[in-house]
Amino acid sequence: MPSPFPGMDPYLEERSRWPDVHQRLIAYISETLQPLIRPKYVSRITERIQLTDHSYVPDVLLVRRLREPAPTLALPGMMVADEPQTIMAFDEERHVPYLEIIYRETGEVVTVIEVLSPANKVGDGREQYLQKQAELLNTKVNLVEIDLLGYGQPTVLARNAIITEPADWRYLINISRAGRRHELEFYAVPLRERLPRCRIPLRPPDPDTVLDLPAVFTRCYDAGGYDLLIDYSQPPSSPLRETETAWLNDLLQEKRV
């Protein structure tokens, strides 16, 4: 059963569900692009390591006793404190997948494609992402950012633009070309519209290839079996505007989901 939505399904934005959606999007984007760009280019899934913040309890803590008691002031007849244990908290690592398009002849990275996650849009994770974003802008690599999450702080490059058309956009996809950093191409997508077929820049003078994002999303939804997991009789957990909620309710009633 396909998603009842013409484009992005807001029920997939749920934080507990997004890791699976994210992995599938990365894999199917790579799979879709590969036959379009070969033999000159190769689409490669890679990852960077990102340290998480400590806004939640980490999975592993090391508990140990002090090798030597900490010095305390000991006076005759004074109570002596028992020695406590010490918890060593480690910075946890999150392995964040993304896509690279490689020029096969030299092995150089031509284009990076990022699909944003909730961790990229809040707190320390956002700061780390913005740092990587800034580093990429100082290279000769094209950057494509795909943000299909309607919540969190604005993070992609288009966050700095005043987007008035369409006024009810929810999702953002932008393209920063290595040779034209002063220009930013973007797709601003409302909930009610299908996802765009996006330009993916390669190495000049080669023409752009096209990412069929609607087809990628359909494959992702079908392969993930999300129709079996989502209860469309309940509202989505991700926040919606009042107009989006009204449209969503009308759509689901019309489709009798």
Q: What is the pLDDT of residue 56?
A: 35
Closest to 16 measured CA to CA, from 257, 251, 226:
226
The pTM score is 0.83
| Domain boundary assignment for the chain | 10-52+90-255
Q: What is the pLDDT of residue 55?
A: 37
Q: What is the pLDDT of residue 52?
A: 55
Contact assessment for residue 40 and residue 223, using Cβ atoms and an 8 Å cutoff: no
Q: Which residues of 112-126 are buried (b: 16+ CB within 10 A; e: fewer)?
A: bbbbbbbbbbeeebb
* Residue-level pLDDT, tens digit, the chain, 257 residues: 789 999 999 999 999 999 999 999 999 999 999 999 999 999 999 987 665 554 333 334 344 444 455 555 556 667 776 767 655 544 455 678 999 999 999 999 999 999 999 999 999 999 999 999 999 999 999 999 999 999 999 999 998 888 999 999 999 999 999 989 999 999 999 999 999 999 999 999 999 999 999 999 999 999 999 999 999 999 999 999 999 999 999 999 999 87
